[in-house]
Structure 1
């Protein structure tokens, strides 16, 4: 069976604060031109997307430097739905290591897509990111960010900057963000997430599809 785990890209889609907005506007129409073309404006980290190491690392690799088979993952689902807003996901929350190559953190936060609550998601600690790299896992999450996203609800003691990004991307481990529709997936499945073919990309939208 196959399942689409991607959010649709439409005008006004949720993006990281100060990232370019998503706009999908008619360029040509059947009525005026006899055919239809849509003008797309978006940032490289819009919607369900993958981060390349060069997103945070000045000398990091671009997406097109990874072989295409890299984006076909043996995924292991990590259930973190017990986490509340802005609660850290710690190493104690992680499973025993397996031979899979992608940890998919299921927080349930995709249900808040399109609302202000979406920005106050759970996040990975630096130590959790280190555990993932030590066990050679790429990381995916059904939330906006693997690090805490700045909002007025930020709490004292939250990490500054993007330490989880730096740890993962700094060791050539990819990050998938804004997954959705993870309910009912088995603990282990295959996730295909091919990025748009953008030259020297620091990130790109993907069509994330689970096979199980």
Structure 2
């Protein structure tokens, strides 16, 4: 059994979704001055590799702390979507229908982490999100969002709002975003994505780990 970290490190100035709080990791106490080390960390609940709770978009959705820890262990199927153009929609025909709990979408957009083009990623069409919700799939993706992220390159024909979030979170399906290091994973693996137990939380950063037999 091997473990692979699928998380981006949390660090000052890391990419944040447009409009979200910036991330800061700064010294609060140092060994030299205080005899011990403590860091002050500031970030939003959707910073870095994170999981969305239903309350992220659904007024009556459950919060992250309402779910037991075992809710965040998934039998995952890897879906290879490399080769998609920037800001292109994933269609239902692009998705398989495996006997799994989660579809992990590999777009290769994690390779653009830290670049402006990272936010011009492919996204789930509303129909594809409905496809996943109807089949009971949670969704993970190596991009900033399952919906289009706002940038100056947005097209007039793109979906407005966050329909993929509504479809999935409205069905109590989790969304794990900003995954990385998916290259070389097998078609099936166990994904563990334990969140911080944020009281009344709409999401949380996670240490996402693939466990492979």
How does the TM-score come out when normalised to structure 2? 0.98
Pair 1:174-2:178 in alignment = no
2:93 is paired with a residue whose SS is helix
Q: Deviation digits for residues 110-147 of structure 1, max 9, x if unmatched?
A: 01111101010000001000000111000000000000
d(CA) in 2 for partners of 1:159, 1:98 = 27
How does the TM-score come out when normalised to structure 1? 0.98
2:103 is paired with a residue whose SS is strand
d(CA) in 2 for partners of 1:116, 1:63 = 30
Pair 1:111-2:138 in alignment = no
d(CA) in 1 for partners of 2:135, 2:116 = 34
What is the CA distance between 1:98 and its match in structure 2?
A: 2.0
Q: Alignment RMSD, CA only?
A: 0.6
Match of 1:140 in 2: 140
Match of 2:153 in 1: 153
d(CA) in 1 for partners of 2:85, 2:209 = 27
Pair 1:46-2:15 in alignment = no
Match of 1:83 in 2: 84
What is the CA distance between 1:47 and its match in structure 2?
A: 0.5
The unaligned stretches of length 5 or more in structure 1 are none
Match of 1:93 in 2: 94
Aligned residues: 211
d(CA) in 1 for partners of 2:107, 2:12 = 25
Runs of 4+ aligned structure 1 residues displaced above 6 Å come to: none
The unaligned stretches of length 5 or more in structure 2 are none
